[in-house]
Amino acid sequence: MVKMIEQLKRSFAVAKKDMLIFYLKGPVIIMGLIFPFFLFLAFFIGRNLEKAQLFTALISMTAFFTSTAVGPTIIPWECRGRTFERLITAPVSLTTVLLGDLQASFYFGTAITFIISTVAIFILSIRPNLQIFLVATILAILTFSAMTILMSSYPPTDVPADIMMLSSLVKFSLLFISGIFVPLKDLPKYARWISYASPLTYYVDALRNSLGDGCLPLWIDFGMLALFGILFFLSGVAIHKKVLERRFT
């Protein structure tokens, strides 16, 4: 237990370093703030949408893009600056370093998502079930942050643009199959089965459950988000360990 607490302290030190260095990087600001803002504008301008649909779309896109903006680029940037080599020779395990990177993504996504959520609830005069909303949002941001660990694991490159291109392909694919633009219950059966492969689907449905209009039972939404998060992190750690030597050749 003492050793675990010590590793958690070290992972927070890694996260603090990531927050100071990477939060104001151009790609993070563009993909985490500017892009989802204009994507949401394109979604709702000129359309007569219900407040619940607007709220669900805004919060799910905010949480998804902000929590996946930082993580994919941290290791490529550090490999390019030759700081990653020094980091892994410190008395911390690779898993601890990656846990710190996950925390950096989580804090960034959580702060912005809850700020936007507070403003949206006030402007739209909407009243979600706060307990469901809080649990779903925190769990979803953890899951999306864990996904960035997997995204940054391969290819083992020191070019951030390579990782950004791959992560953008994955994120946009998930965005359009996850029931944000067309509610899950309105999708044809074949499209609904495809959407179940996306962790974002379960967050969108959990948000709708907080408004009393979910398609799936809440325990499935929470359970699948937790399962995806664990699989993403464990898979990402395993691949990072496998390609670690190739990062320095």
pLDDT digits (tens, 9 = 90+) for 88-144: 777 778 888 889 899 999 999 999 999 999 998 998 888 899 999 999 999 999 999
- CA angle (164, 162, 249) in 5-degree steps: 135
Q: How many CB atoms lie within 10 A of CB 148?
A: 31
Question: Which candidate, 61, 63, 64, places its Cα nearest to that of 41?
Answer: 61
Q: pLDDT tens digits for the chain (249 residues)? A: 656 777 778 788 888 888 888 777 777 777 777 877 777 777 777 667 788 888 998 899 999 999 998 888 888 888 777 777 777 777 778 888 889 899 999 999 999 999 999 998 998 888 899 999 999 999 999 999 999 999 888 777 667 777 777 888 888 888 888 888 888 888 888 888 999 999 999 999 999 999 988 889 999 999 999 999 999 999 999 998 888 777 766
Residue 46 backbone class (left: φ over 0; alpha: ψ -120 to 50; beta: rest):
left
Backbone angle region of 211, left / alpha / beta, with phi > 0 → left and psi within -120 to 50 → alpha: alpha
Q: In the prediction, which pLDDT does 46 show?
A: 65
63 in Cβ contact with 143 (< 8 Å): no
pLDDT in tens, 62-72: 999 999 988 88
**Distance between CA atoms of residues 125 and 213, nearest Å:** 17
Quick one: pLDDT at residue 246?
A: 72
Domain count, the chain: 1
pLDDT at 248: 64
Note the pLDDT of residue 218: 94
CA-to-CA distance for 141 and 98, rounded, in angstroms? Answer: 16
Please state whether the predicted TM-score (pTM) of the whole model is above 0.95. no
Range of the domain at 124: 2-248
Report the chain's mean pLDDT, rounded to a whole number.
85
